[in-house]
Structure 1
């Protein structure tokens, strides 16, 4: 169980590390403050993983979830910090966490507008976006020195190849640990190529506790927090999709109206707490759902173990430095394998959305086109106002809202206004009877 928990940690570790490094580099933070944030990111990720996996008093869905600082909310956090200062940015995170609780009863009612068509579309966009994130860990950002350096490409692709080889060659527990073993093998290869640079593990002492309110007292500005508040609706929709996907991965029948609010309450509670430690919104990790699917290990107590490991990593300074030493191309190679599984899960869900119906196919097509646009063409909204640009550049938010609106227009509004018209569906003329999909497959 400890090994499986460590595998979850190794897969997600790049996200809190890269998030903290991005905040530090963008805002010019001092090294000591960066260490505080990294420690807080691991400790809060661990607490969130424990909360989601154990689910006490309705906080957490009792599913094998791991939590981490979110990717898209991080961009919003940085934007607010640039425009209004870090105290306002941390205040916005706390306000957004509280906003979850206020809007949750209404959102539970709105879940009827999130059928498999909507959630599957959203999960595909999430998966593609995550694959891009993993790929950028290998190549670096376009236009920067060393972009797509041959050695980095070799390390990333070799890590993918080693993971595939281990999954093919191994059986039983070793096969289930293929992602972690591939990461270790990729790190060993990096050491052989001279790309692994170990820090001085004893620097700063053995223990390091995160600092409360590292940027000073939070400042609460509702108008400045608006972009993050609006995005939180998409985040709640994403949490709903992840709850359904995770439930299917472990073979548990999910009631979205009952279970998704539990996941969202867990996200909200940890985000409020994280705001007081200077972190962006905390969300459940999609890549760790891919680990559950790849390994077939369904126990939520594996992610309980992962949560305990994360807390220990956040408090033990040498371990934090050691994990941070794994080369980014190696992490990116492992991440791409797991992220690809997320996209496949979305495609699998779309397979149950009756895409033979032209209306459903049209809804999916438009949502995918708009959702993937900022992912495939970075900077497409550069000329727009900053707040509008930040919202539109979140492909997940745009795709989710597009799918929700079109699904509501075609399947809720249109039948009431014009009466049901199925002449555009091939199933009206040539009925095709599909057997119900078995739960958990």
Structure 2
């Protein structure tokens, strides 16, 4: 029976907001995620010894590809893109794998590996779609909790530094900046109203940056107003070299990223209140990741994948329209050609970005806990699934380098705590609930999962 209450109404995820609202909230997404492409490019450039011009070109290219990917995921076209408010970013693990391939072979081979991996997505996707029934809310909730813990750790390292031997490691000034940023965000969320309350994340970020400027903690030596325009270079490393053996680590990771994309698609669908067809919508997300990563390979980027980082932003602000991330995607494209703006983003202190990220990524973990609440953890089967998956996932997160002496491909998989934990949860869920000797009762599903099950 047709629900007359919803006839003629626009779903929140499809609502087209006023332009000033789109610009304000789109900018919030951009500033929150800007650290990821900047950090990935500078890490790559520092390790591989790229000069300043090549580094600037790669940074411009990364913003461009992230912007195009964000538009594709948010708008969707011909089965590509989930039509959800997603931001696309360079993956941390793919950057490390790209660097390793470039060191072992050369940068042209690393770019070729990205292009091959983009094609490999399409080869394995039909098989992966058949496995989605093994990812109920219990598995997704476990994965989101691991995502939250992992991202909080990464942002914590951004605040205190990665090298305990460095003179500025755990600098009290940086920790002060991070917690001042958090405090400003909380105060704005508590005492402001309307759109200003919803922009508390952006306000905290700007406020933390201003305080950093006042106390002399901002480093503007790399800021420049010239040149005005920066154009990304196509094939910056020359013609790509295609070597399947060299590409294997990235191909293995692409299957891991499919698991992450599944959890992120389920999570963001719940946040925006969109009814999910898991097989269809997850496939759209993954196809978007595939085609954008394929394109990025021609501009010298590593895999560009759907990010869970903006899920916390959407949850915190309550702004569920995908047109906000459309605005963010457009901004990223414009930024990719505006060299001074790209330069200005780089002066925001790591500690300020880290403070903002700590709040957002902890929200992602809380969403995982909320999904786990729907599962009866008093059932010993479910308890073992979640407990063992958390053990497997938390081990490499809390003990970095635990698998450093393993072969590269195995280390890439086991060392990714999010993927290892999620796959462990899916496998154990299959063993306990999808084998003939297992009890007939299924783990309690999320409301969305129940809706999907009733449609099949």
TM-score, normalised with respect to structure 2? 0.90
- Residue in 2 that maps onto 1:296: 318
- Residue in 1 that maps onto 2:39: 18
2:61–2:299 contact (8 Å) kept in structure 1: yes
How far residue 278 of structure 1 moved from its aligned partner, in angstroms, is 0.7
- Residue in 1 that maps onto 2:268: 246
Question: Is 2:42 the partner of 1:42?
Answer: no
1:267–1:283 contact (8 Å) kept in structure 2: yes
How far residue 124 of structure 1 moved from its aligned partner, in angstroms, is 1.1
Change (3 A) 1:318 1:117: same
- Residue in 1 that maps onto 2:343: 321
- Residue in 1 that maps onto 2:125: 104
- Residue in 2 that maps onto 1:94: 115
Q: How far apart, in 1, do the equivalents of 2:47 and 2:438 lie? A: 54
How far residue 379 of structure 1 moved from its aligned partner, in angstroms, is 1.6
Question: Is 2:431 the partner of 1:409?
Answer: yes
Q: Which residues of structure 1 form unaligned runs of 5+? A: 428-433
How far residue 202 of structure 1 moved from its aligned partner, in angstroms, is 4.5
Change (3 A) 1:268 1:277: same
Q: How far apart, in 1, do the equivalents of 2:150 and 2:33 lie? A: 15
- Residue in 1 that maps onto 2:235: 213
- Residue in 1 that maps onto 2:151: 130
Change (3 A) 1:355 1:192: same
How far residue 421 of structure 1 moved from its aligned partner, in angstroms, is 7.1
How far residue 144 of structure 1 moved from its aligned partner, in angstroms, is 4.1
Q: How far apart, in 1, do the equivalents of 2:215 and 2:164 lie? A: 25
Q: How far apart, in 1, do the equivalents of 2:445 and 2:45 lie? A: 53
The counterpart of 1:370, out of the listed 367, 389, 392, is 392
Secondary structure of 2:46's partner? Answer: helix
- Residue in 2 that maps onto 1:380: 402
How far residue 353 of structure 1 moved from its aligned partner, in angstroms, is 2.6
- Residue in 2 that maps onto 1:228: 250
Tell me the C-alpha RMSD between the 2 structures. Answer: 1.9
Change (3 A) 1:317 1:435: closer
Secondary structure of 2:209's partner? Answer: helix
Q: Which residues of structure 2 form unaligned runs of 5+? A: 1-21, 451-456
How far residue 167 of structure 1 moved from its aligned partner, in angstroms, is 0.9
2:275–2:448 contact (8 Å) kept in structure 1: no
Change (3 A) 1:348 1:80: same
1:39-438 aligned at under 5 Å gives the runs 39-145=60-166, 146-199=168-221, 201-413=223-435, 416=436, 418=437, 420=439, 437=447
- Residue in 2 that maps onto 1:430: none
Secondary structure of 1:68's partner? Answer: strand
Q: How far apart, in 2, do the equivalents of 1:298 and 1:43 lie? A: 24
Change (3 A) 1:86 1:186: same
Q: How far apart, in 2, do the equivalents of 1:144 and 1:275 lie? A: 36
TM-score, normalised with respect to structure 1? 0.93
Q: How far apart, in 2, do the equivalents of 1:168 and 1:180 lie? A: 14
1:12–1:285 contact (8 Å) kept in structure 2: no
Q: How far apart, in 2, do the equivalents of 1:436 and 1:79 lie? A: 40
Change (3 A) 1:386 1:435: closer
